[in-house]
């Protein structure tokens, strides 16, 4: 799809990838550590994937969640797969804190307060942890 921003890879901070998907760090000062796990092919729904591909994709999502929990110790992790604006299969993995700009609401809602300042994780460290956490699986 020519107009898909997830198909056209530009200015991404790539943390991990294989032939089927990639993990990027989203640049959002309110949500340091916010990652997106993106399926490589332009697919719209989870049920468009084969069972092994679904399992692989979720293994990567769960690895990203686990790494962020370990490294940042957030109060909560939000996992979201919406795709209403960008119908390309992807998951948002978002560390949340009770004093962040939108908590307890979704990050896409109206701000409730200014964000508490938090240091962004080093992309190299995230990448190393993801590489160690994601066990290579046969295709």
Q: What is the pLDDT of residues 42-88, one digit of tens each?
A: 999 999 999 999 999 999 999 999 999 999 999 999 999 998 889 99
| Mean predicted confidence (pLDDT) in 24-47 | 96
- Per-residue pLDDT at 138: 60
pLDDT band, very low/low/confident/very high, at 139 (cuts 50, 70, 90): low
Asked whether 36 and 91 are in contact (CB, 8 A), the reply is yes
Per-position DSSP letters for the chain, written without gaps between them = -TT-TTTS--S-EEEEE-SSEEEEE---TTSTT-EEEEESS----GGGS-HHHHHHHHHHHHHHHHHHHHHH--SEEEEE---SSS-S-EEEEEEE-TTSSSTTS-TTS---SPPPP-PPPPHHHHHHHHHHHS-----
CATH superfamily of this structure's domain 13-133: HIT-like (3.30.428.10)
The torsion defined by the Cα of 53, 58, 60 and 62, in degrees rounded to 10, comes to -170
Given a cut of 60, whether residue 5 has pLDDT beyond it is yes
- Residue 2 CA to residue 114 CA, distance in Å, equals 37
Q: Name the one residue in this structure whose structure tokens are 């908590």.
A: 103
């Amino acid at each position: 799809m020519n107009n898909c921003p997830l198909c056209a890879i530009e200015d991404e901070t790539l943390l991990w990838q294989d032939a089927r998907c990639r993990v990027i760090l989203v640049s959002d000062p309110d949500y340091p550590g916010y990652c997106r796990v993106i399926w490589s092919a332009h697919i719209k729904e989870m049920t468009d994937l084969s069972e092994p591909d679904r399992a692989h994709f979720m293994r990567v999502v769960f690895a990203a969640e686990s790494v962020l929990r370990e490294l940042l110790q957030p109060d909560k992790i939000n996992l979201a797969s919406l795709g209403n604006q960008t119908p390309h299969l992807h998951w948002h993995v978002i560390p949340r804190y009770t004093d962040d700009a939108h908590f307890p609401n979704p990050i896409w809602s109206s701000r409730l307060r200014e964000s508490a300042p938090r240091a962004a994780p080093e992309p190299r460290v995230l990448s190393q942890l993801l590489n160690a956490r994601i066990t290579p699986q046969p295709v």
